[in-house]
């Protein structure tokens, strides 16, 4: 039952269940403010509840195993972890209702999580989204951030629209775009994400203090 996993491991298990597909820590943190820590990863791996691998930019990608899905199903009938926030108490109350619904309809967890979570609809203008993505990625205003990382968070916005707004912000001097001095060592995805300003490819973005 639930006592065999720590609270961070249980939260990681739930996050992977609702995401319902292979996913990374940055994605989980952006969507649910959940991050799978090394101890939780090792705990879940030791019990063969997840698989994981390192992908591009050293991001770790996670996925539930069949045992992991079965263990996640137990959470529907388990008491919530101790000393968690009200949001998690409400979440477990919702799981209890879902458990009753699944039992009455003789359905499985796969019927409930058949499709990956599309996430909430993005909010804000394109400019606000760019600023928000930069703020999430930078440790402090003025840090140089690869443009590809910003674009990774704007996949619902067309490339043309991203470029149009970036050019406008650059023209108003609200951002600064730079070429990467190590451009010859950049991965192809970073090269493809560059924006041409004055005929020069810019791979880095800086946004200073407001």
Beta bridge partners of 51: 63
Q: Work out the pLDDT band at 3, boundaries 50, 70, 90.
A: very low
Is position 28 within any domain?
A: yes
Tell me, yes or no, whether 105 and 8 share the same domain: yes
State the residue range of the domain holding 25: 2-112
Q: Work out the pLDDT band at 33, boundaries 50, 70, 90.
A: confident
pTM for this structure? 0.59
Is position 198 within any domain?
A: yes
Tell me, yes or no, whether 77 and 162 share the same domain: no
Is position 32 within any domain?
A: yes
Q: Where are the beta strands (DSSP E) in the chain?
A: 23-24, 50-54, 60-64, 145-146, 176-178, 195-197, 200-202, 204-206
Is position 119 within any domain?
A: no
CA distance 146 to 138: 10
Residue 41 burial (CB count, 10 A): 18
Is position 117 within any domain?
A: no
**Could you tell me if 170 and 204 are in contact, meaning their C-beta atoms sit under 8 angstroms apart?**
no
CA distance 84 to 75: 15
How distant is the alpha carbon of residue 159 from its chain centre?
20
Q: What is the pLDDT of residue 126?
A: 93
pLDDT (mean) for 175-185 = 93
Structural domains in the chain (count):
2
112, 137, 166 - which closes a domain: 112
What is the average pLDDT score of the chain? 90
DSSP 3-state of 206: strand
Tell me, yes or no, whether 8 and 107 share the same domain: yes
Instruction: Write the pLDDT tens digit of every residue in 60-69.
Output: 899 999 999 9
Q: Please give the structure tokens belonging to residue 34.
A: 């959940």
Backbone angles phi, psi at 181, to 5 degrees: -60, -20
Helix axes 7-19, 25-32, angle to 10 degrees: 90
Residue 177 burial (CB count, 10 A): 21
Q: What is the pLDDT of residue 56?
A: 62
79, 112, 145 - which closes a domain: 112
The more confidently predicted of residues 156 and 159 is 159
88, 112, 136 - which closes a domain: 112
Is position 158 within any domain?
A: yes
Q: Work out the pLDDT band at 2, boundaries 50, 70, 90.
A: very low
């Amino acid at each position: 039952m639930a006592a065999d996993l720590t609270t961070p491991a249980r939260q990681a298990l739930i996050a992977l269940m609702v995401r319902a597909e292979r996913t990374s820590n940055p994605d989980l943190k952006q969507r649910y403010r959940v991050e799978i820590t090394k101890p939780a990863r090792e705990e879940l791996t030791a019990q063969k509840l997840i698989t994981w691998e390192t992908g591009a930019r050293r991001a770790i990608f996670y996925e539930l195993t069949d045992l992991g899905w079965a263990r996640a199903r137990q959470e529907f009938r388990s008491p919530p972890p101790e000393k968690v926030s009200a949001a998690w108490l409400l979440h477990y109350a919702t799981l209890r209702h879902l458990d009753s619904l699944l039992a009455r309809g003789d359905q499985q967890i796969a019927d409930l999580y058949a499709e990956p979570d599309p996430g909430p609809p993005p909010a804000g203008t394109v400019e606000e989204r760019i600023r928000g993505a930069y703020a999430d990625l930078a440790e402090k205003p003025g840090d140089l951030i690869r443009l590809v990382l910003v674009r990774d968070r704007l996949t619902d916005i067309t490339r043309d629209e991203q470029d149009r707004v970036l050019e406008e912000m650059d023209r108003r001097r609200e951002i600064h775009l730079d070429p990467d001095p190590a451009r010859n060592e950049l991965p192809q995805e970073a090269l493809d994400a560059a924006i041409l300003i004055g005929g020069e490819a810019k791979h880095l973005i800086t946004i200073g203090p407001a």
